[in-house]
A = this chain, B = another copy of it.
Amino acid sequence: MTQTKEVSGARARKAQAYASAREVLLRCGMELLTEQGFSATGLEAVLKRATVPKGSFYYYFASKEAFGREVMDAYDAYFGKKLDRWLQDGSRAPLDRLMDFVADASAGMRKHEFRRGCLVGNLSQELGALPEAYRARLDAIFTGWQRKVAACLREAQLSGAVPAGLDCDQLAEFFWIAWEGAVLRARLLRNDQPLRNFIATFLVALGVRA
């Protein structure tokens, strides 16, 4: 092996280790922020969970604020994919897809013993203590999720499953409004009954009885 190859191999390994540690930090950030929000999460807790040496945080991120922004982006990417998987499942009727998503999210909450909520909901709730720039990002995430649910509701409308007169955008907004409240309540009660109440009542608002 020539010296150049050795150097570039070492560089590649270093770059890979860097990228991998960054990824682990973001994943641990997502976990902690869905559990307890931004304010209550110290960088030490993130580093400890990620088993990345204390004091090396600023090697990976410019600040806690910058880290939070990247955690929000990573969560949006993760959750958006999950939503697409359920809401674009052509083998299921549009309203069944909505119910599938809720059932899957319920199972996910149960798996983590209802300790984890919604990262976007958590951060919205503690807005008063967050960097002002987070507000627009959180709003944009909700708007993106809303578009996905509105598209699903419009498919339901086209198929005749819900009345033609319904305002799908308003109902999609309502879906996420009530969803955040349902997740909050499910964590409090440590069971999925609020999520079941949520989807059943949402279907009633659509003019459908579950």
Residues of A within 8 A of B (CB): 35-37, 39-40, 115, 117, 121-122, 124-129, 135, 138-139, 142, 170-171, 173-174, 176-182, 184-185, 187-189, 194, 197-198, 200-202, 204-205
Contact = CB atoms under 8 A, between A and B. Distances in A.
A194 B178 CA distance: 10
Given A170-B201, A173-B194, A197-B173, A125 B127 contact: no
B194 A177 contact: yes
A130 B188 CA distance: 11
Given A39-B36, A40-B128, A174 B188 contact: no
CB-CB nearest 7 A-B residue pairs: A181-B181, A40-B129, A36-B128, A39-B40, A125-B125, A180-B181, A178-B178
Nearest to A114: B127
Contacts of A40: 39-40, 126, 128-129
B184 A121 contact: yes
Given A39-B37, A185-B177, A205-B204, A125 B129 contact: no
Contacts of A188: 124, 127, 135, 138-139, 142
A187 to B, nearest CB: 6
A127 B128 CA distance: 17
